[in-house]
Structure 1
Amino acid sequence: MDARLTDTHTADTGLVDSQRAHTLDELDLAIVHALQIQPRVSWVRMGEVLEVDAVTVARRWDRMVRAGMAWVDGYLSPGHDEGVYAQIEIDMDGRLSEDTIGQLARDPHVLSLKQTSGGRDLLAIVGATDLDGLARLSGDRVSQLPGVRAVRSHVITAAPFEGASWRLRSLTRQQRSALTMERPAVPDEPLRPLDRRIALALGTDGRMPLTELAQTVGASAATVRRRLRVLTGTGRLSLRCALARPLTGFPVSVVYFGSVPAQHLDETVSALRTLPGLRMCSITAGAHNLVLDIWLPTLSEVHTTEALLNSRLAHLDLRITERAVVLRTIKHVGRVLDRRGHSLGSAPLNYWDA
């Protein structure tokens, strides 16, 4: 579990502290929104759309990244990858060991890690090459960590909605249209070793320049450009611009565990897509076949949101069987976070080499 943590901070801690105190203004939020739509857009193009000098845009983004407030990264989508993913619940023996939490956060099998209220201490999304690898991960690897008392796995059979689809509301319709690119029609094909290297490199910096990316993965720039087109066109590679949750206006994160008859799953997922704070929807093979990660403005909306779900989807027999407030997000899609939700660095998903 010695996956390398890539530090995104400058060595000048005074500079970092002053940057973290920076309050995001409208231009900062517009830049983040633009990168949510097109994560690898050039600064020149973004400057044209926002009517701001490209140098100013680049400088603003660099400041946010260095402060750990925002970042762009890439990962192989659970809904399209050839591996096996699971939500795993981890019970501790009465106290949370920071050493154990740190090992989990840096584990290349762990995509996300949360400390929650309710019937488990930690909730993680993990990846493995196959079901046997998942069994060894939960049974031999995670369960043997200091302080771990029990591990329960729920295999993810589909992930129809991911946080990469979530958007701020800072740009006008015209600006959004100017940045939106149609996904190219490309043939679906098996993942290649090069594709995994590309995903791993972009996990540390989703805006890594093409020439640097090509050098990192050991391929020509033309080949990498072509593979990126295929990976993004098929949805196998998710590129997302993330903003520290407290800065989004949705400081509360809640995980709802629900059940719905199998014949209603597709219709339920379609209805859920309009839920404003929905960050991820996982379909699992377990006691709960639906796990929803939802961001909310206030704690008081935990129950009103549940009531809304139950009322709007009552005709589909949806039942929310449990809800858990996220007390702390330790790792979010390969990004290790501090207690304020700011990025400390990246520990990308890399189960295929681990």
Structure 2
Amino acid sequence: MIHALQIAPRASWTQLSAVLGSSPDTLARRWDHLTTGGWAWSSLIVARGGDTTLYAWVELECAAGAAEATAIELTDDPYTLGVHQVTGDADLLLLVVCPDLYALDAYLAGRVRPLPGVLRSRTQVVTRLHNRPYRSRIEQLAPGQVQHLAEATGGDRRVRIPGRAQTPLTELDRKLVAELAGDARRSAAELARQCDTSESTVRRRLDALMAAGALHHHCLPAPRFSGRPVWALVTADVPPLEVAATVAALTRLRHTRVITSVTGPHNLALAMWLRTVEELHEVTATLVRAAPTMRITGTQVSLRTHKIGAQVLGPDGRRTHHIRPDVAI
């Protein structure tokens, strides 16, 4: 069911029933159980990229015993798309998104560094986001089921990364994104009531935003229960003239989820989810075999993930709630 929703996020339960072989009522009850219990979620957020938005990896060193409280504090910020307690020299690793360098500086100086638990911070600005976060699928459907789903829903609706924002978001668009960040399957009727507009207008705007690549959908199981519970960040150095070929090779690997070019002592940072900590050794060897000019400069493993995208995870690894995004970004 999760794989089907990754392909067709707003397909009706009747459409999915024909593919998955269960009744619409059974699918709806099962999905309600997964989402209510925090085992899985479906979310729509603004697709950020091009020259309109800035990403950064931010490492924080914290006072003894303060890392967890600081992490929990930062999960409430719409600017954090990832909050991880990690191994290595840093205690916390954040993936931050801001409108521009000035906003990033204001956020770090006014919000992050003044926190009582923070001793030091190091920031690496992402100069290029090479692929979409949460782009991977869990690949559980048979090829025939994927084809059947595409035919039932009018085609595979995966969104490709646009070079830049196609059109500015309207006020209604911003309201829709804010409502869909917590549950991408909210009905058009419910969205229309919430946003004080008509169902046809809601459907028309969502179709237009998806077609323009303005929205990014991610449907995920809670990582701890997904079979790949270990988050890791690998940093690497690649000769500048080899970056394009290296990224192309790395993108084809199953393990790599987010590939970013960054400022600082190394020029690539790759985030991934692994089955076990031991798999990290195998994965780094695979990365170097795929891109022989790449030199691994560091690895970090998450001891606990507090936030993914807009979703906040509890100590047991299940989703507890979501943070409404800053759709002005």
After TM superposition, the score normalised by the length of structure 2 is 0.90
1:346 aligns with 2:316: no
Structure 2 counterpart of 1:113, one-letter code: V
| Structure 1 unaligned residues grouped into runs of 5+ | 1-30
1:50-65 correspondence to structure 2 within 5 Å? 50-65=20-35
1:204 to 182, 189, 192: 182
Deviates more, 1:57-66 or 1:228-237: 228-237
Q: Deviations over 1:90-111 (max 9, x none)?
A: 1112222543222201112111
Q: Report the counterpart of residue 257 of structure 1 in structure 2.
A: 235
CA distance in 1, matches of 2:17, 2:201: 28
- How has the CA–CA distance of structure 1 residues 351 and 226 changed in structure 2, closer, same or farther, with 3 Å as cutoff? closer
1:334 to 300, 303, 310: 310
CA shift at 1:351, angstroms?
6.5
Structure 2 counterpart of 1:127, one-letter code: V
- Number of equivalenced pairs: 321
1:104 aligns with 2:74: yes
CA distance in 2, matches of 1:98, 1:46: 40
Q: Report the counterpart of residue 54 of structure 2 in structure 1.
A: 84
CA shift at 1:182, angstroms?
4.3
1:23-172 correspondence to structure 2 within 5 Å? 31-79=1-49, 82-172=52-142
CA shift at 1:302, angstroms?
0.8
| Structure 2 unaligned residues grouped into runs of 5+ | none
- How has the CA–CA distance of structure 1 residues 234 and 291 changed in structure 2, closer, same or farther, with 3 Å as cutoff? farther
- How has the CA–CA distance of structure 1 residues 295 and 98 changed in structure 2, closer, same or farther, with 3 Å as cutoff? closer
CA shift at 1:77, angstroms?
2.4
1:241 to 206, 211, 219: 219
1:176 to 146, 167, 183: 146
1:293 aligns with 2:263: no
CA distance in 2, matches of 1:351, 1:126: 14
CA distance in 1, matches of 2:103, 2:266: 22
CA distance in 1, matches of 2:263, 2:325: 22
- How has the CA–CA distance of structure 1 residues 266 and 213 changed in structure 2, closer, same or farther, with 3 Å as cutoff? farther
1:182-221 correspondence to structure 2 within 5 Å? 182-183=156-157, 188-221=166-199
For the aligned residues, what is the CA RMSD?
Answer: 2.2
2:256 to 278, 287, 298: 278
After TM superposition, the score normalised by the length of structure 1 is 0.84
Deviates more, 1:286-295 or 1:260-269: 260-269
Q: Deviations over 1:169-193 (max 9, x none)?
A: 3211011122242459999323333
